[in-house]
């Protein structure tokens, strides 16, 4: 149990659908992250939020739209996705956006398949 939960765990959607991924952390952290993990590729950082403010958008297409209503919750809204967007989407949190040993803790991910 890492203290970071994600729902749904699996999602299949068509290219015209709109869906949302949810992440919740129970660790009292202030920074939250979305990553994309494709087979045999490194984790790709998508978005970073610190104290509810977005601090990083790593050139992510606008069909992915993040939302962070408070420090414990993070959403990723999806619309008009492409088949190449199929991947494991991981949420992570850390105490704060800082250097040093600030460790990120990950949720189990949402396995997304776009048909």
Binding mask 22-41 for other proteins (x = CB under 8 A): ------------------xx
Torsion angle of C-alpha atoms 33, 47, 97, 41, degrees rounded to 10: 70
* Contact flag: residue 100 with other proteins (CB under 8 A): yes
Q: Are 92 and 32 in contact (CB under 8 A)?
A: yes
Output 53-57 pairs: Cβ under 8 A, ≥24 positions apart. Answer: 55/97
Q: Rounded distance, CA 41 to CA 107, Å?
A: 18
Among 7, 57, 103, 113, binds other proteins (CB under 8 A): 103
Using the rule CB under 8 A, give the single segment among 15-23, 63-71, 78-86, 91-99 that binds other proteins: 91-99
Residue with tokens 């994309």: 36
Using the rule CB under 8 A, give the single segment among 13-21, 64-72, 75-83, 92-100 that binds other proteins: 92-100
Q: Which residues bind other proteins (CB under 8 A)?
A: 2, 4, 40-43, 45, 56, 90, 97-109, 111
């Amino acid at each position: 149990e890492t203290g970071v939960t994600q729902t749904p765990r699996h999602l299949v959607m068509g290219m015209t659908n709109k869906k949302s991924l949810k992440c919740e952390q129970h660790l009292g952290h202030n920074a939250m992250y979305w990553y994309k993990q494709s087979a045999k590729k490194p984790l790709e950082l998508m978005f970073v939020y610190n104290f509810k403010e977005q601090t990083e958008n790593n050139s992510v297409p606008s069909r992915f739209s993040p939302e962070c209503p408070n420090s414990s919750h993070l959403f990723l809204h999806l619309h008009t996705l492409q088949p190449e967007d199929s991947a494991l989407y991981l949420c992570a949190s850390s105490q704060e956006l800082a250097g040093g040993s600030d460790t990120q803790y990950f949720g189990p991910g949402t396995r997304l398949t776009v048909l």
